[in-house]
């Protein structure tokens, strides 16, 4: 791995490629002519919100390895956000009133995009785990 000033460039390039692939799958689920429906783009809110509890927990908790109420609450909140991101396309594809809002093919593409995007977010936190970073100096 190429490491320059604490940054793993190969990992960063791989994460950027994976994030682009996840967003591409999401856009394909919205923009392909047979789907042509932009409601699944609301999943982007979940992509933005999912790392926030982990960042808060890393900032305020003493250690992520220790089990305290804040860390457990933030893990639960992150899990709820991720499950909601997977649940939104399912709900949009299975609406009881009239025809579904999105088709099953669009739902499958959005689910694949979710998997790739959340995997990328998880990989970011694993690769760039800076335990030596002292937040109290801020």
Neighbours of 86 (CB within 10 A): 15
- Provide the token pair at 63: 């250690």
Domain boundaries, the chain: 7-129
* Three-state DSSP string of 71-121: HHHHHHHHHHHHHHHHHHHHHHHCCCCCCCCCCHHHHHHHHHHHHHHHHHH
Q: What is the model's pLDDT at position 107? A: 95
Q: Summarize pLDDT for 51-75 with one digit per residue, the tens.
A: 999 888 888 876 666 678 888 899 9
pTM: 0.83
Q: How far is CA 69 from CA 6, 112, 120, in A?
A: 32, 33, 27
Neighbours of 40 (CB within 10 A): 25
pLDDT over 70 at 19, yes or no: yes
């682009």: which residue's tokens? Answer: 20
Q: Summarize pLDDT for 84-109 with one digit per residue, the tens.
A: 999 999 999 988 777 788 999 999 99
State the Cα–Cα distance between residues 116 and 102, nearest whole angstrom.
20
């Amino acid at each position: 791995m190429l490491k320059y000033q604490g940054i793993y460039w190969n990992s960063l390039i791989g994460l950027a490629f994976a994030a682009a692939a996840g967003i591409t799958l999401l856009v394909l689920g919205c923009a392909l002519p047979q789907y042509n429906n932009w409601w699944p783009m609301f999943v982007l809110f979940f992509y933005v919100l999912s790392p926030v509890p982990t960042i808060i927990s890393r900032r305020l908790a003493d250690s992520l390895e220790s089990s305290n109420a804040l860390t457990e609450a933030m893990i639960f909140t992150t899990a709820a956000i991720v499950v909601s991101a997977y649940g939104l396309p399912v709900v949009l594809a299975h609406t009881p009133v009239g025809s579904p809002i999105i088709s099953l093919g669009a739902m499958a593409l959005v689910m694949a995009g979710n998997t790739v995007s959340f995997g990328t977010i998880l990989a970011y936190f694993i690769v760039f785990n800076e335990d030596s970073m002292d937040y109290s100096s801020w």
